[in-house]
């Protein structure tokens, strides 16, 4: 624990000087501030979600199920806030946004390292995104670690194995079959059953966030290409089916 500096104020503790001087609109137009604040808020929430996700994974690895659910529940609440924040951004009309969009250059939410790390640490491990970061850069090293280290998905498989399920090579079929057995005898496997529902909650909330993103994007820029160089809404729609726990969705048909 670090000692509290004598006479420390609220502003000292929260480093408000730095935090509140980090909004630097380039256009001089009124609405750019909202755009910056929404994105910065999202990065702070992503930081907190990654913090909780690390804890959730560590607790699950030690079979501390209830404590792990608690961390996951907090992630879920943050996801709700992030999804709701699209409503604030929807007050930005196409006219307002187009007036300052040029100042963004080629910058895009697509480059958010923390967003990609969240996907990786949940279990959506697509290594192709690494190519967008130069080898040896901090961002690249960080994402490479997240790719290598066990995700929440990996930890959930290990939890199934510790409970006696043989997942073999952890193929989708083997994982799906194990979850099916858990759901078919939920009383016997109550911890795993509860875990599965928490994992579905996380996938569900991330999908909701993605849906609201694409809807907001269509509302603000229609089908224009993105500043990051993708086709725009069409690219975002292609991400809607991404799931960290696809077997937990597909096995439901078999119940």
Residues that bind ligand HEM (CB under 6 A): 38-39, 42, 89, 97, 108-110, 112, 115, 213, 217, 220-221, 226-230, 232, 235-236, 239
Cβ–Cβ under 8 Å, residues 61 and 158: yes
Distance in Å, CB of 162 to ligand HEM, minimum: 32
Identify which of residues 32 and 177 has a Cβ nearer to ligand HEM in the complex.
32
Distance in Å, CB of 80 to ligand HEM, minimum: 13
Identify which of residues 153 and 212 has a Cβ nearer to ligand HEM in the complex.
212
Distance in Å, CB of 71 to ligand HEM, minimum: 22
Q: Which residue is nearest to ligand HEM (CB)?
A: 226
Residue 22, both tokens:
């980090």
Distance in Å, CB of 194 to ligand HEM, minimum: 29
Q: What is the C-alpha to C-alpha distance for residues 53 and 183, in angstroms, rounded to an integer?
A: 24
Identify which of residues 38 and 208 has a Cβ nearer to ligand HEM in the complex.
38
Cβ–Cβ under 8 Å, residues 235 and 216: no
Q: What is the C-alpha to C-alpha distance for residues 251 and 255, in angstroms, rounded to an integer?
A: 7
The length of the chain, given as a count of residues: 255
Q: What is the C-alpha to C-alpha distance for residues 105 and 123, in angstroms, rounded to an integer?
A: 31
């Amino acid at each position: 624990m670090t000692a509290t500096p004598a006479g420390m104020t609220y502003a000292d503790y929260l480093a408000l000087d730095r935090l509140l001087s980090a909004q630097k609109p380039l256009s001089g137009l009124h609405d750019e501030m909202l755009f910056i604040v929404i994105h910065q808020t999202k990065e702070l929430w992503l930081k907190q979600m990654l913090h909780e996700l690390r804890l959730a994974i560590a607790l699950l690895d030690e079979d501390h199920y209830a404590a792990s659910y608690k961390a996951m529940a907090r992630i879920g609440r943050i996801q709700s806030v992030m999804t709701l924040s699209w409503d604030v951004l929807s007050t930005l009309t196409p006219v307002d946004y187009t007036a300052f969009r040029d100042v963004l250059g080629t910058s895009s939410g697509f480059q958010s390292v923390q967003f990609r790390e969240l996907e990786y640490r949940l279990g959506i491990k697509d290594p192709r995104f690494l190519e967008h970061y130069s080898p040896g850069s901090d961002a690249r090293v960080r994402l490479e670690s997240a790719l290598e280290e066990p995700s929440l998905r990996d930890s959930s498989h290990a939890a199934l194995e510790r409970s006696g399920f043989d997942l073999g090579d952890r193929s989708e079929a083997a994982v799906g079959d194990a979850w099916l057995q858990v759901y078919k005898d939920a009383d016997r496997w109550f911890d795993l059953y509860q875990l599965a529902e928490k994992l579905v909650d996380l996938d569900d909330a991330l999908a909701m966030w993605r849906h609201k993103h694409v809807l907001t994007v269509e509302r603000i820029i229609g089908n224009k290409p993105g500043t990051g160089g993708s086709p725009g809404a069409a690219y975002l729609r292609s991400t809607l089916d991404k799931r960290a726990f696809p077997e937990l969705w597909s096995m439901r048909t078999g119940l």
